[in-house]
Amino acid sequence: MLFFLCFALFLIGLYCVLIKKNLLKIVMGIIIMEYSVNLFLIMVGYKAGAVAPIVTAGVEKANFVDPLPQALVITAIVIGIATLALMVALCMRVYDRYKTFDITKIRRLRG
Amino acid sequence: MNLVPLFMAIPLGAAFIVVLLGRFKEAVSDAVAVIVSLILTILSFVLIIPLSQEGIFVYRMGRWIPPWGINLVLDGLSLLMLIIINLVAFLAILYSVSYMKKFTAKSTYYGLFLLMVAGMNGVVLTGDFFNLFVFLEIAAIASYALVAFGVEAEELEASFKYMVMGSVASVLILFSIGLIYSLTGSLNMAHVGTILQGQNGNLISFSMILFLAGFGLKAAIMPFHAWLPDAHPSAPAPISAMLSGVLIKALGVYVLLRIFFNVFGMNIQLSWIFMILGCLSMVGGGLLAIKQEDFKRLLAYSSISQIGLIMLGVGCGNYWGILGALFHLFNHASFKALLFLNSGAVEYSTGTRELKKMGGLSKAMPFTGATSTIGSLSISGIPPLNGFWSKLFIIMGLVYAGRYVLAVITILVSVLTLAYYLKVQRYAFFGKLGEGLEKVKEVPPLMCASMVALAIICVGAGIFFYPIMKTILEPAVRVLQEGIGYSNLILGG
């Protein structure tokens, strides 16, 4: 069930990228997609009732969550921020040149 | 052999040093960038002989044994890609030394360029899914910034379009990597390959589709091609050469080959998908190219068409088809980079990209004219230039596989290619000198040098195709034909 909700979030992001006409809303759509994927990765590693995977004396055989997806998600978030920063910077530059965020009016290239 | 990590370490380190040094003196950053890319090119050629003796190098990061640690794998296919990437990058940087003078912030440009090279080298060397994603993003983000480097209105628009498409592709790829991890509990490509062997299921098919869409977007195969004709022409010419010549192959075609041949294992349905997509983009790209009036836009559509040809050759799956496709990968990098550098030279001297405003340029610009003729003939497949042999091999592969209709279509598209390159030659380089072009001069010597070098590669690879086939291409073909046997080599050794 949770996985379907996560996939729904992904689809909301995709819808936003495909349908919206505003540059910033498109950027938001991409970010929503990225976050749904991050959520998916976290849910893959989640186990109900498990503890953080820190091995100390006495808890060697405890029920651990899978730590690898968490490491992946941190990396993915950092990459996402780099992409977001560049995208927003591009949006600002585009606004400087065209004085609008509307993609139907930003059409100097053919095709 | 511990040379393998240097392919990422050297350009990554140099990317930061070059920006710092550029603050003090621009000539220093020129020198550093040229020397670093030259070293990388030499390194990739040096590895040919030891690799042919050993067959495969596996480098374990931090000495963790494969299923747990990240490993770098250098085999025939990776080496072929490394040679293409670093050779074209060296010549493009040599060209940029003069060409980029009109832009400010040249050292930042070199920094981004080297980051892109580091990302691509990482993608072709890594043997780990998530590491692949990280390097792919390094290369992709650097390329988004480079497309917008001129910060003119059109460039920003093209870059935004490219970036939206590229980010969607990256998200799809990450989603698919997550699915693979949840199915197998591993991220190592070889280990995933052994676990998935013989399995079938809806989720595996779903992740395959996501990979196909994600890397198909990066490779600009036909239904996913819309960003390429805007993004590639808008970039500065050496970057166009890198993007069209190398980036779509390293991030798109190479990864598709690696994942579908070596991890999932090829089957008949997949090979049909490859062939149909390939045929679609070959014909579509060709037809769209022929009516273009802008020099670089025409070249960009032609890239879509040639990538389609490569996918078609790979899809037919036998020795000749794969050999032809990989040889075409190499050849396309050489002549498409050459043609984009030519278009840059024309723009540098005349200030226009419209084909109809040019004319008679081969008298005013003898080096550019001659090299562009070689490039055009070579991409159209005129013997004995290199494009002829790779197209011949692909057509032989299609005939051996019994796909006669596709073979005929390939020949027809080849004629179409000749047609639109003759149009380029006719409008830009032959005939009467265009109006207002009386004072056009040849471009500076460094730009000429890199164009001449690429033209020599085109001619040389055509005449000496046999030694190239034996030393570089056959190990790469063997990697793809081994299929999922790739896993045993890595996990065993």
CB pairs under 8 A between A and B: 88
Q: Are B376 and B426 in contact (CB under 8 A)?
A: no
Q: Which of A68, A69, A108 sits opposite B157 (nearest CB)?
A: A108
Q: Which residues contact B184 (CB under 8 A, 6 or more apart)?
A: B191, B192, B195, B196
Distance CA A17, CA B172 (A): 13
Q: Is A69 in Cβ contact with B163 (below 8 Å)?
A: no
Q: How far apart are CA B168 and CA A13, in angstroms?
A: 10
Nearest CA in chain A to B130: A72
Q: Does A106 touch chain B (CB under 8 A)?
A: yes
Q: Provide the shortest C-alpha distance from residue B175 to chain A (in Å).
A: 6
* Least CB–CB distance from B164: residue in A26, A40, A97: A26
**Chain B CB within 8 Å of residue A57 CB:** no
Q: What is the ipTM of this complex?
A: 0.93
Partners of B68 on chain A (C-beta within 8 Å) are none
Give the closest-approach CA distance of A96 to chain B in angstroms: 9
Q: How many CB atoms lie within 10 A of CB B42?
A: 12
> Are A10 and B160 in contact (CB < 8 Å)?
no
Q: What is the chain A residue with the closest CA to B131?
A: A72
pLDDT at A46: 82
Distance separating alpha carbons of residues A14 and A37, to the nearest angstrom: 12
Q: Would you state the pLDDT for residue B483?
A: 80
Which residues of A fall within a CB distance of 8 Å from B161? 109
Put simply, whether A75 touches B (Cβ < 8 Å) is yes
A107 band by pLDDT with thresholds 50, 70 and 90: confident
- Which H or E run includes B140? helix B129-147
| Cross-chain residue pair B181–A111, CB shorter than 8 Å | no
Question: In chain A, where are the structural domains located?
Answer: 2-46+65-98
Q: What is the spatial distance between Cα B479 and Cα B79, in angstroms, rounded to a whole number?
A: 11
What is the enclosing helix (H) or strand (E) of B71?
strand B71-74
At B316 the pLDDT is 87
Are A33 and B168 a contacting pair at CB < 8 A? yes
Q: Which amino acid is present at B335? A: F
What is the number of alpha carbons within 13 Å of residue B356 lying toward its C-beta? 3
Contact B146, B113 (CB under 8 A): yes
Is the CA virtual torsion B410, B412, B418, B423 positive or negative?
A: negative
Query: Which structure tokens are listed for B55?
Result: 């067959």
CATH architecture entry for A2-46+65-98 = Orthogonal Bundle (1.10)
Q: pTM of this prediction?
A: 0.93
Token pair belonging to B410:
């390939």
> How far B400 CA sits from the closest chain A CA (Å)?
38
Task: Write the pLDDT tens digit of every residue in A18-50.
Answer: 998 899 999 999 999 999 999 999 888 888 777
> pLDDT tens per residue, chain B (493 residues)?
578 889 999 999 999 999 998 888 888 888 999 999 999 999 999 988 888 888 888 888 887 877 778 888 888 899 999 999 999 999 999 999 988 888 888 889 999 999 999 999 999 999 889 999 999 999 999 999 999 988 888 889 899 999 999 999 999 999 999 999 988 888 888 888 888 887 788 888 999 999 999 999 999 888 888 888 888 888 899 999 999 989 999 999 999 999 998 888 888 888 899 999 999 999 999 999 988 888 889 999 999 999 999 999 998 888 899 999 999 999 999 999 999 999 999 888 888 888 888 877 888 888 888 999 999 999 988 888 888 999 999 999 999 988 899 999 999 999 999 999 998 888 888 877 777 777 778 888 888 999 999 999 999 998 988 888 888 888 888 888 888 877 777 776 5
Residues of B in contact with A109 (CB under 8 A): 154, 157-158, 161, 230, 234
What gap in Å lies between CA B249 and CA B81, rounded to an integer?
8
**Residue B487: how many CA atoms within 13 Å on its side-chain side?**
20
Region label for A47, one of left (φ > 0), alpha (ψ between -120 and 50) or beta (otherwise):
beta
Asked if residue B66 has a cis previous peptide bond (ω within 30° of 0), the answer is no
Query: At CA A101, angle to CA A98 and CA A104, rounded to 5?
Result: 85
Residue in chain B nearest A86 by alpha carbon: B145
| Interface contact flag, B168 A82, Cβ < 8 Å | no
Test B141 with A86 for CB contact under 8 angstroms: yes
Q: Testing the interface with B: which of A23, A72, A100 to mutate, by most B Cβ within 10 A?
A: A72
Q: What is the DSSP letter of B444?
A: P
Inter-chain touch B178–A75, beta carbons under 8 Å: no
- Which tokens sit at A107? 């059409």
